[in-house]
Homo-oligomer: A and B are copies of this chain.
Amino acid sequence: MISGMQRRERYHVKIGSSNPSATASAIGVYLAGLLEDLRADETGSVATYIPELGKADPRAFGICIATVDGQVYSAGDFDLPVSIQSVSKPFLYGAALQYCGRERVLQQVGVEPTGETFNSIVLDEVNNRPFNPMVNAGAIATTELFPGATPQARERGMVDWLGQFAGRQLEIDLQVFGSEHATGHRNRAIAWMMLNSGMIARDPEDVLDLYFKQCSVLVSCRDLAVMAATLAAAGRNPLTGLQVLGPDNVRDVLSVMSTCGMYDYAGQWIFDVGLPAKSGVSGLIMAVAPGQAGLAVYSPLLDAVGNSVRGIEVCKRFARDFALHSFADRTDASSAIRGEYSAREVSSKRIRSPAEATVLQQAPPELVVLELQGLLYFGSAERVVRRVADLAGRVDTLVLDFKRVAMVDRGAVGLLVRVLRTMTGRPRIVLTETGSLPPESGLIPALEALPEEVRPEFLPDTDLALERFEERVLETSGVSRRHDKLSFAALDIFAGLGPEALASLQSAVSSFRFETGQKIISAGDEAHAFFVVARGSVSISLTQGGRSRRVGSVGPGQAFGEMALLDGGRRSADVTADVPVLCYAFSVERIRELAADRPEILTCILGNMIVSISDRLRRANQQIQAMG
């Protein structure tokens, strides 16, 4: 705890320090401009009914914005510590919800706006509770619910609780507390009245002590903006990453702020600004743009209702200039499907023979990938499930790629579960890339709890889903799968060579076996031979920035390392056996010798290589098209 005098001195040291963000960014420049514009407005007056508040500098003026990912923009006296006063009420209400549960809290205090002033003594006698937790009576009732075995534990807990929202340890201003305690007769009257009607049960002086202390906690605009941003970020402090308040409790707090946060100015406030907000008589206002940012303003000149004059004007302008009103149209449901492509447009990274490729291009049972993105909530998920239902009758496998999905909310999870229930297992549904979804989305447990016949499959990536689908299609087609050792004549790279040329190639070949995981080619090595897979399959991978990435796979009958046929090459990638592999290795030097007599050996091989690479280029361009 520090005294008011100590605080002022510390502040005077700070005010000289520059604020880099105010000049470095467009938003900082905007806030500084807003501050200059509104500084001239000297209407309103400093609150005087608590003596300590009357000492505030009427010229003081600070603004701060904190985004849900922790970016802070500020201007003016953003760092000046002042007592939080009534702006503490939403946070204490949150504590009550978190520690006592919604039902218990609703017994203690209602959620109806009163249209009365903040220090009104009118109580909801029908339900025997104060009307709402944003007026003093309601906040006193909320304060009684704050947990802790002793007054000291409750005080420490309360200061810590507010500090978790601010992202730093806060302190009580003892002079403000003394002033509140000495002069808070009206609040004392309210508390005794509530004890009288059984709305509170504990000693009113004890409850009031904590109530006055919570009003006397010192925060700067910067602290308050971070506190508001924590509410904007569904209860997760953007600076510390701590989940301070559960998302459902945040929703309840914001609801009450939106109807009761600005005293008897609530209707006009929602009409003009449209953001959940709370003001306090020290001249602070905080506003929350859910999912976006928290805003805090400090200017101690108050209007007749008790709201900061400049603070209200900053909120109005900020909400107007950046279209932040809660009911401004901004949800974009159409973009939940980032892209859609079929297995005909995009193939797996497995390199296929022309015969296999033809089968895959012509196969009727379709696989379709829906690449999802952003946040899935009811409106966006409805479009996804509608597309799923459209495709259901026409495809064999439907892959939902979650790579770019940031969050699946409870509403979307419910909708997906309902849709899968109606689908009776056809088509096959595969979810890929769900690994990076935040665990609180609850998607995976909800889907895994489905009955087996409608439960979807989970695969780490979409390429694997494509490869498995292709393998299934090929297995049931008539095309040769080359499970056995192959003859030269069956190799695509030798297609078109006559029997004599094939026979002469026998002198250039050796066969090799590799175990699962064994490296066959290392990037950077000199290239003397090219390979053809006779049995098994190999993976081609590139290492970039220390991370190895699989870029393709090669199965029976297909070549790898064939760029060795061009002079001076070094290996460009690593090749590793996926399973036990049998390979033919062809000596490049020996083939060049043979080609001196039979030039068609080389021109034929090079032509086949061109066909194969061109085909891969064509498919890559198709994929770019499908993804773009």
Partner of A331, one of B258, B290, B403, B610: B290
User: Does A378 belong to the interface (CB within 8 Å)?
Assistant: yes
Q: Decide yes or no: A292 and B378 within 8 Å by CB, A115-B112, A270-B258, A274-B251 being known contacts.
A: yes
Q: Decide yes or no: A26 and B293 within 8 Å by CB, A271-B256, A595-B603 being known contacts.
A: no
Task: Please tell me if the beta carbons of A111 and B290 are within 8 angstroms of each other in the complex.
Answer: no
Encode A321-335 as 1/0 by CB contact (under 8 A) with B: 111111111111111
User: Does A353 belong to the interface (CB within 8 Å)?
Assistant: no
User: Does A414 belong to the interface (CB within 8 Å)?
Assistant: yes
Query: Which residues between 247 and 289 of chain A lie within 8 Å of chain B, taking CB atoms?
Result: 247, 250-252, 254-256, 258-260, 264, 266-268, 270-271, 274, 276, 289
Q: Which residues of B contact A620 (CB under 8 A)?
A: 617, 620-621, 624
Partner of A603, one of B386, B407, B603: B603
Partner of A113, one of B71, B267, B291: B267
User: Does A609 belong to the interface (CB within 8 Å)?
Assistant: yes
Looking at the complex, which of A150-158, A369-377, A467-475, A512-520 is the stretch in contact with chain B? Answer: A369-377
Q: Which residues of B contact A419 (CB under 8 A)?
A: 26
Specify the main secondary structure of chain A where it touches its partner: helix
A330–B321 CA distance with the chains assembled, in angstroms: 22
Task: Please tell me if the beta carbons of B271 and A111 are within 8 angstroms of each other in the complex.
Answer: yes
Task: Please tell me if the beta carbons of A323 and B410 are within 8 angstroms of each other in the complex.
Answer: yes
User: Does A446 belong to the interface (CB within 8 Å)?
Assistant: no
A386–B68 CA distance with the chains assembled, in angstroms: 14
| A335–chain B nearest beta-carbon distance, Å | 4
Partner of A329, one of B250, B323, B610: B250
User: Does A313 belong to the interface (CB within 8 Å)?
Assistant: no
Query: Which residues between 292 and 328 of chain A lie within 8 Å of chain B, taking CB atoms?
Result: 292-293, 321-328
Q: Which residues of B contact A611 (CB under 8 A)?
A: 566
Query: Which residues between 375 and 391 of chain A lie within 8 Å of chain B, taking CB atoms?
Result: 375, 377-379, 382-383, 385-386, 389
A420–B246 CA distance with the chains assembled, in angstroms: 39
User: Does A4 belong to the interface (CB within 8 Å)?
Assistant: no
User: Does A396 belong to the interface (CB within 8 Å)?
Assistant: no
Task: Please tell me if the beta carbons of A411 and B291 are within 8 angstroms of each other in the complex.
Answer: no
Q: Measuring CB to CB, which residues of chain A are less than 8 angstroms from any residue of chain B?
A: 24-27, 29-30, 67-69, 71, 110-115, 132, 233-234, 247, 250-252, 254-256, 258-260, 264, 266-268, 270-271, 274, 276, 289-293, 321-335, 338, 373-375, 377-379, 382-383, 385-386, 389, 403-404, 406-407, 409-412, 414-415, 418-419, 421-422, 549, 551, 563, 565-567, 595, 599, 602-603, 606-607, 609-611, 613-614, 616-617, 620-621, 623-625, 627-628
Q: Which 5 A-B pairs have the closest CB atoms?
A: A291-B331, A292-B379, A323-B411, A599-B599, A234-B329
